Chain A
Amino acid sequence: MNSLIFDIQRFCVYDGPGIRTTVFFKGCNMRCAWCHNPESFSTAPELLYRAEKCVSCGACAAVCPHGAHTFDDTGIHHLDRAKCTACGACAAACPNGALELSGREMTADEVLAVIEKDKKYYASSGGGVTFSGGEASLHFDLLVSLLEGCRARGIHTALETNGLVPPERLQTLLPLVDLFLLDYKHSDPVEHRRWTGAPLEPVLETLRALDRAGAHVALRCPIIPGVNDTDAHFAAIRALKKQYGCIESAEIMAYHDIGKTKWDALGVPYTLAALKTVSPELKRRWMAQIAD
């Protein structure tokens, strides 16, 4: 039972309480326009190419079995993604880090071995592991065995989810997850679908189920200028906090533009290219707007 992991980050301080190891699963059932991990959309391995690091040395073309890398007469590098099978040979050969393969098959034991390495830091800081993505729950079987593995080892678990989780799966996850980090992206159903490609109602249904089960929930609200920085949305967040006792905290995830480079590296057009990182001052004002 393997799944594609695109990153495991240790010493995370922003993904739940204490020091955490965050496991990023590849594959997502939303398509948020602002996503800063667009390599997490697809469940297949993908090649990231950063043109600004390429020195046209030709090492990639020399090892590529499918002729995906070519260089024109002026030495400019061209990547034909249609030919690329994401085998990773070029990324291993690239001396300058211009090519990177995102996504690696890992077993539950392999992932748990990494998680266990920081056990003493979880203990000292009240931390643990956070499963993120992408949407971690898409890799349901692996996720469940990882959660069970953490339970057996006494490690606190958090699941970061966009809320698009089928109810029966959620029932399985409930007793295994200590903290749900639930994303809440838009309070208008039409706009939600427009910006994330997914309906809002299942997200709310997940929240209700979590509330009924007495789960611990931290609401995480990405706020994107021009998308959801509206009084109505902030009012809706305040209302959710009041309505659902399971919500122990609500957090603003202010837009930043660092993810843009990843869209470029994947060769996918980024619709929010003109948007700039939100200032700390503006973020503070937003935080005040969702305060009780």
Chain B
Amino acid sequence: MFKSNLEKLRNAIAFTRIYKENSDDIYIREAKCLDFQLRHILVPLDENDGIAGRYEHDFAGFTSQVGGYSAQIGCCYTYYFDEFDFLLAMREYEDQLTEAEKSELATVHMFWHEETTARKLDIAFAKRYGYVPPKGYQGAGAGNCDCRVAGTNLDFEKLIALGFDGLDREIDAAAEKNGASSFYTALKMWIESLRGACARYRAQAIALSESVQSEPARRRFAALADALLAIQHNPPKTFLEGVQLMWIYSVSSDLMNYSRMDDYLGGLYVADLEAGRITEEDAVQIILALYKHFKEINKIHDCRVIIGGLGRRRPEAADRLAIVIMEASRRFREVVPQLTLRYYSGMDEAVFQKAMEVNAEGTTFPIIYSDDTNIPAIEKVYGVSREEAEQYVPFGCGEYVLVGRSVGTPNNGINALKALEIALHNGLDKFQNVRCGVQTGPLSTLDTFEKLYDAVLAQLRPIIEQFAVHKYLNYAVAGENAPYLHLSLLLDDCIARGKPVFEGGVRYLNASSEMFGIISCADSLTAIKTLVYEQKRMTLEELVHILDCDFEGYDAERKLCLDAPKYGNDDDAADAMAARLFTDLADLTIEAGKAAGLDHYNIVSVNNSMSAEWGSLCEASACGRKRGSAMANGNGPSIGADKNGITALLNSMSKFDNTKHVGVINNVRFTKELFSGSMDKVGAVLKAFYENGGVQTNLCVVGRDDLENAMVHPENYQNLLVRIGGFSARFVTLTPVVQREIIERTTYGA
């Protein structure tokens, strides 16, 4: 901590005062709040920094998502208030605060209790539906909702090309055309605040260059000071200036995803290289200095850096930088950034080879996405041109947005397996013993498989429809309260239209819905269809009784359930059920989004650790899964169910309709021996997958023995990274339930 909680309390008073005094104009209010915030949250430069920019937030502030969801603060969306730490600090400094301050702090507390934007969203939703959805998976029922503005990938290409002065000029030109407005004024104030941040860091860099002992360090800080001066006005002319500019912007805006870095910085890198100003190794060091900040923020569900792919402006330079970025990730061996490579047929083989080598070391990066599959799919799913579709990027756990053109925040979770559980109990969440679902009828009425299937969709339909409205309100309430200057500045078409992002400025107002348990639900439906409705090995009542008993005393019946066809084996019946459920959920979501007023609302099956965590609150399921066990993760198979090898698994994963979702995760694990020993063959298989309908792969190269040993001797495996659906984590930090899930998932050897 670089400042005391006392200082944070006093900042909260000042911030609140600025907020209140300027509430007649939300644009100027935000500009002033941001300016105050920026003067107080940026942590001073220290000797270990290679790039300037770290932050530590105050108790009251403005952010789209400080670190995403926080257990303490809840949702940090727009104007937030960290009540928990605020009250702890009040107690901590009880003796040092004056009575007047205490009184004012009490007012601040009461004020934000009503005024946080998250609360306003709760009220807006409750006015319509009479309840506030659960905020985490611990709640009863098949759905939960958070609020945030996550995952924006800004047009850094424009930032780098124009620089601050160029952006100023663009605003001036637009104001001349559309007429002056306080929105335009506020945008310029935001740029001025950023210049101020650069100037303060520059002064610190100069001071450090004078105080440090070593000559290389002195030169490093002098260069940094020069960069921080230059970027206050001009577009960056060197790689260092480019990295510093994107980072000062990102850290000042709480951005968590950094779009196509190889492209927007590649030109600067190659120009430096060719002029002899830097070496490849210098560039690796600059990237590592940036990574150090990623690690400090440690936003493991986000922090995407995208490299490769079609639609880059300078592909050759970008490819050269992509290799440098991958080398930095190879050395860094941390869970961030979530380095992501976009593959396409005909891409530079050296880039792909480097990606394989970095994965072979067990880094789990880069994650690889297939442009061959995804670009045509995105043209259809978003109804955009090929040129725009080429600008897709996955953010966070893998939801798509279009760089600089769309928002796509996800903030709801829906559990298909839980919906089946509730349908089989006529509206009762059996595990939670809460009646929260639709009464879709007693088991005796579900006398055909189609009736059961419809009952599952009937459980999900109202949740999907209401959550689409929640997403719409999420944006609407944000827009009523803030122009989101840091987003509006670099998102089309906010400046041209003179409208902030959530008041009609952004070109595509999209959202995504995280679906969990699709595969576990589909495999359960396949088992029920086979055993109950086709083979009549047991009645539905008997099956539900067996599930309610968690299979205890029913080993033979559980064996029948486990032996029923499973997704992930290239089995047409099981895969068709998964694809059918996937498509039906996708269609319901698309329709709900249109009705709610969103441009596009689509499912993702990206799943982070939630598939394990939420599974711990689900009854046993007909796929053979025991009560409380993890659900299948993302579009991966039920745990231990894929037995036909990796090509069969990849074929199953290729059978979904890619024109209906905005992100899926395919976890594929290899043993180290196979991946490294047969890298060419593994690479050929992966390419065939990417070129034939495969969306992406999260590769995990690991030995099963490694994982088992790591559970016993965590001290020896601190560096063991694994992927859980959308994000990567240190294995030893995971809970045993998640660790076991990972071990039980197949590890492919030959």
Contacts and interface: CB of A to CB of B under 8 A. Distances in A.
A18 B687 CA distance: 13
Contacts of A125: 680-681, 684-685, 688
Contact of B750 (A12, A93, A127): A12
A245 interface: no
Contacts of A121: 647, 684-685, 688
Given A19-B647, A95-B556, A95-B559, A13 B684 contact: no
A95 B557 CA distance: 9
Nearest to A126: B684
Given A12-B750, A117-B651, A125-B681, A59 B556 contact: yes
Interface in A113-159: 117-118, 120-121, 123-127
B648 interface: yes
Given A18-B684, A19-B681, 15 more contacts: A9-B645, A10-B648, A11-B748, A11-B750, A13-B681, A18-B681, A19-B647, A92-B563, A94-B559, A95-B558, A117-B648, A121-B684, A124-B688, A125-B685, A127-B684
Nearest to B682: A13
A254 B313 CA distance: 52
Contact of B555 (A9, A13, A59): A59
Contacts of A59: 555-556
Contacts of B570: 117
A62 to B, nearest CB: 9
B555 A124 contact: no
Given A93-B556, A95-B556, A14 B684 contact: no
Contacts of A12: 750
A23 B648 CA distance: 15
B559 A93 contact: yes
A86 B277 CA distance: 76
A14 B682 CA distance: 12
Contact of A11 (B556, B558, B685): B685
**5 A-B pairs with the lowest CB-CB distances in the bound complex, closest first:** A125-B684, A124-B688, A11-B645, A10-B645, A95-B559
Interface string B682-694: 1011011001100
Given A19-B681, A121-B647, A13 B687 contact: no
Q: Name which of B570, B651, B681, B682 has the most chain A CB atoms within 10 A of its CB.
A: B681
A95 B552 CA distance: 13
Contacts of A11: 645-648, 685, 748, 750
Contacts of B691: 120, 124
Contacts of A13: 674, 678, 681-682, 750
B644 interface: yes
A125 B680 CA distance: 8
A57 interface: yes
A9 B555 CA distance: 29
Contacts of B682: 13
Chain B at the A interface: mostly helix, strand, loop or mixed? helix
B715 to A, nearest CB: 28
Interface residues of B, number: 25
Nearest to B563: A92
Most chain A CB atoms below 10 A, which of B558, B647, B648, B692: B647
Contacts of A118: 647, 651
A19 B692 contact: no
A14 B559 CA distance: 33
Nearest to A118: B647
A125 B686 CA distance: 10
A20 to B, nearest CB: 9
A188 B428 CA distance: 75
Nearest to A125: B684
A120 B647 CA distance: 10
B680 to A, nearest CB: 8
A90 B687 CA distance: 42
Contacts of B678: 13
A125 to B, nearest CB: 3
Nearest to A55: B555
A125 B563 CA distance: 32
Contacts of A9: 645
Contacts of A57: 555
Interface in B715-750: 748, 750
A120 B559 CA distance: 34
10 contacts: A10-B644, A10-B645, A10-B647, A13-B750, A18-B681, A93-B559, A95-B555, A121-B684, A125-B684, A125-B688
Interface in B553-572: 555-556, 558-559, 563, 570
Interface in B52-109: none
Interface string A1-43: 0000000011111100011000000000000000000000000
B688 A120 contact: yes
A90 to B, nearest CB: 12
Contacts of A93: 556, 559
Contacts of A10: 644-648
Contacts of B688: 120-121, 123-125
Contacts of B674: 13
A93 to B, nearest CB: 7
A286 to B, nearest CB: 18
A117 B654 CA distance: 12
A124 B559 CA distance: 38
Interface string B534-565: 00000000000000000000011011000100
Interface in B164-205: none
B600 to A, nearest CB: 31
- Interface hub of A11, A19, A125 (most chain B Cβ within 10 A): A11
Interface in A88-125: 92-95, 117-118, 120-121, 123-125
Interface in B563-594: 563, 570
Contacts of A123: 688
A93 B559 CA distance: 8
A13 B674 CA distance: 9
A126 B688 CA distance: 12
Contacts of A120: 688, 691-692
A201 to B, nearest CB: 34
B684 A19 contact: yes
B647 A117 contact: yes
A126 B681 CA distance: 9
Given A117-B647, A121-B685, A124-B685, A14 B750 contact: yes
A57 B556 CA distance: 10
Contact of A19 (B555, B559, B685, B748): B685
A186 to B, nearest CB: 27
A19 B684 CA distance: 8
Contacts of A127: 681, 684
B511 to A, nearest CB: 35
Nearest to A117: B570
B648 A124 contact: no
Contacts of A19: 647, 681, 684-685
